[in-house]
Every structure is written in structure tokens, then in C-alpha cells.
Amino acid sequence: MSKLKLSLSKLPKPVKIAMWVLLAILAYALPLLEPPFITTPGVDFGGVLFVVTMYMLVALGLNIVVGYAGLLDLGYVGFYAVGAYTAAILTSFHANWPLLFALPIAVLASTISGVLLGAPTLRVRGDYLAIVTLGFGEIIRLVAVNTEWLGERKGISNVARPPSVGGTEGLFEIPHLYWGDGTVLIDTQDTTKFLVFGVLDQIPYYWLGLTVVIIMLFADYLIKNSRVGRAWEATREDEDAAELMGVPTFRFKLLAFATGAFIGGLAGALYASRQNFINPDSFLLLFSILFLAAVVVGGQGNRWGVLVGATLVAYLPQRFREFDDFRVLVFGLALVALAILRPEGLFPPRRTVRAKQLEQELEELEVGTDGEEKAHA
């Protein structure tokens, strides 16, 4: 694993870039290729892939809060809901805005809700924060259930879709592949119109979702390697020591919360737009737990790890749908197995691995330096 990583990092830069581009093209083409074993029988593959990208987005956002800044947030679905409801209200229930105008407002609303929740609660540490955020997620849902203005239990329908490029027929049509017995054919009957955001074909939504995920990955890379990223890391490791270094830890924790809320709200708004319909049941506590599971399973603090975690959490239950209720049991068993075998997640960040090695090495080292000191004396 690490050997593979090493040999990959030695490749010249153009080769590396070419590999990334190839990977991205493959990711975009995935629902058109419809590779056997990977496709989801009985559920629309494009739709599942869209949900996977939403989980990826949410996992990236929650990873900033939990993985980078070390703040346990059990109510992340609340931000997702604020984004979704804002988009729904502005495009359907109380106004008729196009989605592109509603999106920035939805994201702004969830960011503000992040600041409003964070400002009083980030002063408490550890367990208390988890409890407060848990309450926040439920309060948002219960407010939606009980407010006529937000559609109560019935929810809000006719949420605006993204604008189609090139009218209802799109710019051009892309055929899918058809996998027969031992043969692969291009199926000209089964095509996706580029870029039509309609009712049936979910693939354009997936492309939109994937594009947003890629943009957020870049943003995540930049912010992690900036002064802000270092401040988060120091705060997570030792808050008092970070203060002594001159890091205003409260401000940086609030920034992490707001950034996480921003991404969560964006995912929520996109989700509402694809669903065309939302009601409070889309924002149960269960989703906060699944989002957190995606981050923890993947390896908190590692952006690629949490993407894998998000994929597993969103994709596996759909892939094994035919096992019906057993899939929940299997999912649970898989999580328990993971907790025992890889407690830091599938792909823990370099630092966590180092911290793990530390314990053994430290003992040897202490013995080593003791000897040295005696030699000096």
C-alpha cells in the first residue's frame, strides 16, 4: 500500500496529471459504461451515483468540522436541511426563483445557521458540543414538522431543477453501453441527453454533483495547506497550546463550523433540487449518524478516505438491495468489523498513523536516550 503510494509519487508531474484526468473521465463516464457487478440492479444507477456524490460532499464538509478541527458534530443534517428548505421555499413554496439564484441564498442561510449555532456552543468542549449539535439537528426537523410556512409534514414539492442546457433536447445525446453475454455493444436506444435535468434520467444530476465534489476537493486541498488548516490542526491537537502560539482558537473553530455548514447547505440544496420534493423525513437523526459514519469509516482527517467512506455508506445498501432488511444488519456487522480491525478508519491520515507508531517507538527511544545521557555523564 505505502509502496504503491511511493512509486506513484515518483512519477513525473505530466504523467500524474494525466492519471488524474483519466480517473476523472472514468468517474464521469461511469453511469454510461454501466459496468456489470458495479451497477445497482433494481435501482437507477445514475440516481444512486448522484446520492453517492451528495454523501461525498457532506463527508468533505463534515470532515472539516470533525477531522480537521476535531469538533464532534452529531447534528450535521441540520445544515443540510437548512440548505434544502431554503432552496425549496425560494424556488417553489413562497417564490419562484430559478435554482441558480436560490442556491447562493441557501448556502448563505446554512452558513449563517452554522455561525449562530457555533457562537454560543463552541465555547464548551468535547461531549457538550456533541449534545448541543444533536439537539440542533432535531430542532431543525421539528420546526419543519410544526411550521405551516415550511409545509409541515406534507413537505414542499416542485422544487426547481437546475436549468437544462440546450432546451429539452439538450446539446447532443450520449449513448450508453450494453453488456451482453460476453459482448459489449453501444446501445443507441438508451441515451443520455447532454445536459437535460429532467425527471427520468438522473445522470446529468450525477455530473453536476461530481463537478461540485471536484471543486470542493480543490478548495479542501487549498484550505488544509493554508494557515487556517494549520490552526485547525493545532487546535485539535492541543487547544491550550494552540492559544499560547497565538491561535485565536474560538474564531478558527467557528470558521470550521461555518465552512462545514456551507458545504452541508450546498449538498442539501442540490439534493432538494434533484428530489424535486422534500419533507421532514428526509432529515432524520439517522442521516447525521450516516454522515458521521462516512467520515469515521473512511478515516477522519483524510479527504480521500472520507470520499471512500461516503461511497461505501451510500452505495453498498443500494447495491445489495435485494437482501432487503438484511442489508441493514450486514451494514451494522461491517461497521463493527471495521471498528475492531481498523479503528482509525480505512484510510487514516498520515498523522494518525504516526501517532499510533509513537507509543511503541517512544519506549525504545526513551531507553536509547537514557543510555546516551549516562554516556555523557
Partner 1 sequence: MLLEVEGLCVNYGHIEAIRDISFSVPEGSVTTLIGANGAGKTTTLKTLSGIRKVRAGSVKFDGKDITHAAPYERVKLGISQSPEGRRCFVGMSVRENLDMGAFVRNDRKSKAYQEDMDRVLTLFPRLSERINQSAGTMSGGEQQMLAIGRALMARPRLLLLDEPSMGLAPKLIAQIFSIIKEINAQGTTVLLVEQNAAQALKAADDAHILETGEIVRSGKGSELAGDDSVKAAYLGGDI
DSSP secondary structure string for all residues of 80-127: HHHHHHHHHIIIIIS----HHHHHHHHHHHHHHHHHHHHHHHTTS-TH
What minimum distance in Å lies between the beta carbon of 352 and partner 1? Answer: 8
Phi-psi region of 24 (alpha: psi -120 to 50; beta: other; left: phi over 0): alpha
CA end-to-end distance (rounded Å), the chain? 44
Cβ-based nearer residue to partner 1, 298 or 349: 349
Report residue 52 CA to chain centroid gap: 9
Indicate the residue among 247 and 267 with the shorter CB distance to partner 1.
247
Query: CB 72 → partner 1: shortest distance, Å?
Result: 18
Q: To the nearest whole angstrom, how small is the minimum distance from the Cβ of residue 325 to partner 1?
A: 41
Q: Give the number of residues written for the chain.
A: 377
Q: How near is the Cβ of 166 to partner 1 at its closest, in Å?
A: 48
User: How far is C-alpha 26 from the chain's CA centre?
Assistant: 20
- Cα separation, 225 vs 29, whole angstroms: 31
Query: DSSP string of 224-236?
Result: HTSHHHHHHHHHH
Q: Which is nearer to partner 1, 13 or 350 (CB)?
A: 350
Q: Would you say 180 or 246 has its CB closer to partner 1?
A: 246
Positions touching partner 1 (CB under 8 A) are 227, 230-231, 233-234, 237-238, 240-248, 351-352, 354-355, 357-358, 361-362, 365-366, 368-370, 373, 376-377
Q: Which is nearer to partner 1, 125 or 154 (CB)?
A: 125
How near is the Cβ of 353 to partner 1 at its closest, in Å? 10
Residue in 353, 46, 304, 34 with CA at minimum distance from that of residue 199: 46
Q: Least distance to partner 1 from the beta carbon of 365, Å?
A: 6
Q: Which three cell numbers stand for residue 351?
A: 498523522
Smaller CB separation from partner 1, 324 or 359: 359
State the nearest-atom distance from the C-beta of 126 to partner 1, in Å.
18
Closer CB to partner 1, residue 148 or residue 376? 376
C-alpha to C-alpha distance for 15 and 267, rounded to whole angstroms = 32
Instruction: Report the 10 Å Cβ neighbour count for 3.
Output: 7
What span, in angstroms and rounded, lies between the C-alpha atoms of 224 and 69? 11
